[in-house]
């Protein structure tokens, strides 16, 4: 049985996404799990766990909470209602299993849900039978700009969505397969969020290895499009362009453009797209939204998280299909 608020929270993995990115002066804050926990009054951080002594020492100096090197020892001393798993993906499944066996009411796992070769359906089914809820940190579901994109799509303001083009790059040297696994999971989940329904990989192909490119044709709901994961750029790329019958939306990191169809100023008898809105979202509340949802779930045992374990598994299944893993 869960406690009353503030609900006790423990975090496994004490690295960048757990807390260290709070020190990045350019990132929107909160930028980490711990930063967002401290901003949610219904949550209380009670413990941290990491196998690395230096990570434990640094975390304890920063937050003055108990730190542990062993999961069972931690659970023997603290009894969290909410566990955050922020380790490397190769240990996500291990800690998810431990958390489910310990019957922790709410579990949040970093993306991707796990390694490509792992299967999660049995574990998710067991958690459901036990009445436990698993969340995955696909944070764009909680981000105000991506939520506004979904509202725009549903409003029919730009007509019916016809196609999309999604581009991702993490710099010159990052291999596209690695980028697809680590960062593509965000884009794939965002596409499922914007275009609910079933998904299909219609075609997948890649150029020569020297091209550093993975390209695939996918369908989400009734909308088909292209996923382009590339290396070679000297800058980060994470953007999605959606073409509608009467407009266009372009959204991504630091990008928000809405174009409307209107009588063309260039050609008689035709229509052209004109940009009506361009903005930079100063705050998207992406991490804050994750922890608000978590606290709401702890208050309401019947609530379904906005980003569930099954959402994380669907994104991983798409990646498996794109990489030919059976």
pLDDT of residue 282: 86
pLDDT of residue 242: 98
Q: Are 103 and 77 in contact (CB under 8 A)?
A: no
pLDDT of residue 2: 58
Share of the chain residues as helix, strand and coil, in percent rounded to the nearest 5 = 35, 30, 35
Structure tokens at 127: 């958690």
Q: Are 84 and 12 in contact (CB under 8 A)?
A: yes
Cβ-proximal residues to 323 (8 Å cutoff; 6+ apart), any chain: 116, 177, 180
State the Cα–Cα distance between residues 28 and 287, nearest whole angstrom. Answer: 9
What Cα–Cα distance (Å) separates residue 255 from each residue in 142, 145, 283? Answer: 17, 9, 13
**For the chain, which ranges sit under pLDDT 70?**
1-2, 206-210
E strands, the chain, are 7-12, 43-49, 67-68, 82-85, 106-109, 133-136, 161-170, 199-206, 213-220, 223-230, 236-244, 247-252, 255-263, 271-278
| Four-CA torsion 165, 237, 312, 52, nearest 10 degrees | 170
pLDDT of residue 296: 98
Structure tokens at 254: 């630091």
| pTM confidence score | 0.95
pLDDT of residue 204: 86
State the Cα–Cα distance between residues 148 and 301, nearest whole angstrom. Answer: 27
């Amino acid at each position: 049985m869960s406690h009353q608020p503030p609900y006790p929270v423990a975090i496994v993995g004490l690295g960048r996404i757990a807390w260290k990115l709070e020190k990045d002066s350019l990132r929107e804050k909160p930028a980490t799990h711990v930063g967002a926990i401290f901003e949610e009054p219904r949550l209380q951080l009670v413990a941290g766990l990491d196998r690395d002594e230096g990570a434990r020492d640094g975390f304890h100096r920063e937050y003055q909470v108990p730190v542990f090197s062993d999961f069972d020892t931690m659970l023997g001393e603290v009894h969290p209602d909410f566990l955050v798993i922020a380790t490397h993906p190769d240990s996500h499944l291990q800690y998810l299993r431990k958390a489910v066996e310990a019957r922790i009411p709410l579990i949040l796992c970093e993306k991707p849900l796990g390694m490509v070769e792992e299967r999660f359906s049995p574990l998710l089914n067991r958690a459901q039978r036990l009445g436990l809820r698993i969340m995955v940190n696909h944070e764009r579901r909680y981000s105000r700009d991506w939520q506004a994109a979904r509202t725009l799509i549903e409003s029919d303001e730009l007509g019916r969505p016809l196609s999309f083009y999604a581009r991702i790059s993490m710099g010159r040297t990052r291999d596209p397969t690695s980028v697809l696994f680590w960062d593509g999971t965000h884009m794939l989940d965002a596409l499922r969020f914007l275009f609910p329904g079933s998904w299909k990989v219609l075609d997948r192909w890649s150029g020569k290895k020297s091209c550093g490119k993975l390209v695939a044709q996918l369908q989400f709901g009734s909308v088909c499009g292209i996923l382009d994961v590339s290396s070679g750029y000297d800058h980060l790329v994470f953007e999605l362009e959606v073409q509608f019958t009467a407009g266009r939306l372009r959204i991504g990191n630091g990008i928000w453009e809405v174009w409307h169809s209107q009588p063309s100023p260039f050609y008689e008898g035709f229509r052209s797209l004109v940009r009506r809105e361009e903005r930079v979202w100063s705050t998207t509340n992406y991490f804050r939204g994750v922890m608000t949802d978590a606290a709401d779930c702890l208050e309401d045992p019947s609530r379904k998280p906005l980003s569930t374990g099954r959402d994380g598994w669907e994104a991983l299944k798409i990646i498996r299909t794109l990489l030919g893993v059976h």
